[in-house]
Structure 1
Amino acid sequence: MKHNYQLDAMRAIAALAIIAYHYTLFPCGWIGVQFFFVLSGFLISGIVIKNKKASAEVKTGAFFKDFYKRRALRLFPLYFGYIAILALFNFFAGKPEAFDKEWPWLVTYSINFRWLFQDYTFHMVYGHLWSLALEWQFYLIWPFFLWFVPQKRITLILICLLPLSMLVRIAGYSVNEHLPYLVGYNGSATAKALAPYVLPFSHIDAFVFGALLCKVKVRNFLSKPQVIYTCMALVVITGLLLVAFIPSYSLAAIGWPSNLPMAYQWVWGYSLLNLTSAAIIAGIIEKGRARILALSRSSVLQYLGKISYGIYVYHPIVIFGMLNVRDKAPAFAGKPMVELIIVTVISIVIAHLSYEYFEKRFLTKRKPQQVTNDFTSKVTQAPAERLTLELQEVNN
């Protein structure tokens, strides 16, 4: 499968929605993270399944060595580079104040678990890294699961995992509610619903929906305009119904606040969002006729999607800077929107510079050896590398 630039555009839309959410101007913008999870599930699952089908040529050890090398070269430099920036700020300026206590969780990709402890000190400049930790935790397990599961039964097994993810969310909610050192113990509804939000296995269905997209029949069905619009309508309608019946739910969030705290939305809500994300991805891959996908043809959005990993990582520190200086400017109509535009532009510029002058140094190391016209070189080129390059890899 060739690189799909329209998926890059959807990455950009998701990243921009998350920035608006963190600037408190788009309360349901956190849904962009769910889209990233499903897209990651599709791309990573595709790499594993393609190589598994060529298992006669590809040795298991060689594949996983190549897989994790490529993942590390894509994810680690920016992630740990950003943490190094935070460490420098903490050393010279004393901010973020709690970095001295929280850095071990950051460098071990476990900050999402740390979120559940009552003594966790949240700070916006590193709090968002929970989703990257969750994805990495899945990368450590999901490829092995797909590699060793019987291929003849993989579709059935994946479908069976969908309700299991709901049961896992119920289990996580119960644990968070009953352990005294966790935030859900005697906590608010939002605090109790935090575990289903940040724990890795709570999002099994996101990666399952992504993996199911590797099946042509599934993509063909989900890519139909009526399916895409039905999924989106269900998201909006259920959200509006919740707004009508739950006083704490705001219309601004369209009934989809983060953590999904009420009406057991934390059980079924993520599955609906993941299904909708899968339908959108399928529509793009199969060049569906749903007009709502036309925005993904924007070349500007496609480039922003290319650097969306950097946009996501850097934007909170830009927001933090804006929050510390915005009160110095006089108030005027539309000031928050202007501030958001400034934050977004600065985040994009930083992400662009980071991609061009830092990340690319590592990305070039992921390229396979050049294939010459010599037949021998074509045969001996690592099959794992050839097949891995056939699929677009995640930037988030």
Structure 2
Amino acid sequence: MNTQVPEAAVPAHNSRQHLLGLDGVRGLAILMVMIGHFIVVGKHLDYKVDGQRFFTSGYLGVDLFFVLSGFLITGILIDAKGTPGYFKVFYIRRALRIFPLYYGLLALGWLSVIFITPGDKQVLTGHNSMAWYWLYASNIGMAVKGGWLASPTWLGLGHFWSLAVEEQFYLVWPLIVMLLPVKWLQRLCVALVISSPIIHAILQNQIGLLATYVSTLNRLGVLAAGAWLAIMWRNPDGWKQVTRWLVPVTGFFGIILLIERIFVIYPLASCESFIMIFFGAGCVGLAANGDGAISRFIFESRMLRWLGKYSYGIYVYHHALKPVWMHFFWRGWIVPTIGSGWPGTFTYMACATVASLLLAWLSWKFFESPILSLKSRFTYRSRQR
């Protein structure tokens, strides 16, 4: 990871290229997250038991999202560096993509507390205040409280910590990309990757396991790995060297990760976040390369690309509406008729998945897409000469 990128190198790629494989990476990530959240409904799995541990791996999909985010956001910023409205255009375009759905759900949650379930008013004040969510600081709120924040009865907001990490990354990274020459940005990314186990250990010792898990500082390694890939992807010679190592690195760390997730091997488990940096970066690199068999047959598959297209809505809705799925599907129908065993669990997974996908599709078509069309009014212009 020490290949130098000449400042004046002619980019081999740029952020205007739409890579089908990256949609597939999003699709794989959201599929992992959904399975991980839905499969635990029957409480049949114990992550401390060999074999069962593998099926509790859905949260690793979040790391995959972070690597992809580091790749895409850094690429956009590098390509836009030096253009008029660098900050303004970036933040407006990000706001159009992220804010409507996020704040729309928060508004529904706030209104439900006021008018439907006034007994939930504890989520409006104190440690559980929804203000943490409104400020994209729920991960900080969890650290202050020392536990998960409470959510309204009909809305689960716990998974919004990852969106807080993203927004905090957006708050700082554009300035860093603007100020640093590419070669120093590359070195910073390498330093963040290498130091990530140390940062993780220090955080866990100082603030505890949960606060570390949701901390933005703890996720700098995966974000930086994606950022490093974005830099290399824009340099023909550098990317040529990267592609030689994509398959062996992804394969090696994928096997290590698989062993760690199947068997309860605590020394490996303690290195899981570091392992995921390289496996996630390998997946994104293979998808970005675009011309390999792995990208064509896995990441460019129609199913994963479809999931990837609607992944943001799926991510927001599938867990935000877990109380609804549990009330109507699990407790209202499945347990009384099928039972709470594995057949009932699989039925719940199917119902919750279909409902989440349908809602995300409707949301995209009638709510998100019309708003996203406004992005055409805010585009990066040519660099000033």
Partner of residue 247, structure 2: 225
Partner of residue 183, structure 1: none
Partner of residue 388, structure 1: none
Q: What SS does the aligned partner of 2:56 have? A: coil
Structure 1's 87 and 133: CA in aligned 2 closer, same or farther, altered over 3 A?
Answer: same
Partner of residue 382, structure 1: 381
Q: What SS does the aligned partner of 1:154 have? A: helix
Matched, 1:299 2:302: yes
Q: What SS does the aligned partner of 1:128 have? A: helix
TM-score, normalization: structure 2?
0.80
Matched, 1:20 2:24: no
Q: What SS does the aligned partner of 1:224 have? A: helix
Partner of residue 104, structure 2: 81
Partner of residue 34, structure 1: 63
Partner of residue 201, structure 1: 217
Amino acid paired to 2:346 = M
- Which one of the candidate residues 351, 361, 367 is aligned to 2:370? 361
Aligned partners of 1:140 and 1:275: how far apart in 2? 25
Q: What SS does the aligned partner of 1:125 have? A: coil
Aligned partners of 2:185 and 2:132: how far apart in 1? 34
Partner of residue 317, structure 1: 320
Any conservation in 2 of the 1:228–1:290 contact (CA below 8 Å)?
no
Amino acid paired to 2:332 = K
Partner of residue 350, structure 1: 359
- Which one of the candidate residues 169, 178, 197 is aligned to 1:147? 178
Any conservation in 1 of the 2:89–2:378 contact (CA below 8 Å)?
no
- Offset of 1:196 from its aligned partner? 2.2
Aligned partners of 2:108 and 2:312: how far apart in 1? 16
- Offset of 1:168 from its aligned partner? 2.2
- Offset of 1:212 from its aligned partner? 1.1
Aligned partners of 2:314 and 2:148: how far apart in 1? 25
Aligned partners of 1:341 and 1:100: how far apart in 2? 34
Range 110-119 or range 323-332, more displaced: 323-332
Aligned partners of 2:275 and 2:118: how far apart in 1? 39
Q: Deviations over 1:299-325 (max 9, x none)?
A: 233122111101000112332212223
Any conservation in 2 of the 1:219–1:286 contact (CA below 8 Å)?
no
Any conservation in 2 of the 1:11–1:305 contact (CA below 8 Å)?
yes
Amino acid paired to 1:66 = V
Aligned partners of 1:293 and 1:130: how far apart in 2? 33
- The count of aligned residue pairs is 335
Q: Give the superposed CA RMSD.
A: 2.6
Aligned partners of 2:118 and 2:267: how far apart in 1? 38
Aligned partners of 1:27 and 1:95: how far apart in 2? 35
Partner of residue 68, structure 1: 91
Matched, 1:283 2:286: yes
Amino acid paired to 2:286 = G
TM-score, normalization: structure 1?
0.77
Q: Deviations over 1:90-110 (max 9, x none)?
A: 223217924323210010000
- Offset of 1:227 from its aligned partner? 2.5
User: Share of identical aligned residues, percent?
Assistant: 28
Aligned partners of 1:304 and 1:168: how far apart in 2? 33
Aligned partners of 2:165 and 2:118: how far apart in 1? 25
Any conservation in 2 of the 1:45–1:146 contact (CA below 8 Å)?
yes
Partner of residue 124, structure 2: 100
Q: Deviations over 1:88-143 (max 9, x none)?
A: 22223217924323210010000011112137543471000000011100100112
Aligned partners of 1:331 and 1:3: how far apart in 2? 45
Structure 1's 219 and 137: CA in aligned 2 closer, same or farther, altered over 3 A?
Answer: farther
Partner of residue 328, structure 1: 332
Aligned partners of 1:228 and 1:290: how far apart in 2? 14
Amino acid paired to 1:78 = L
Partner of residue 248, structure 1: none
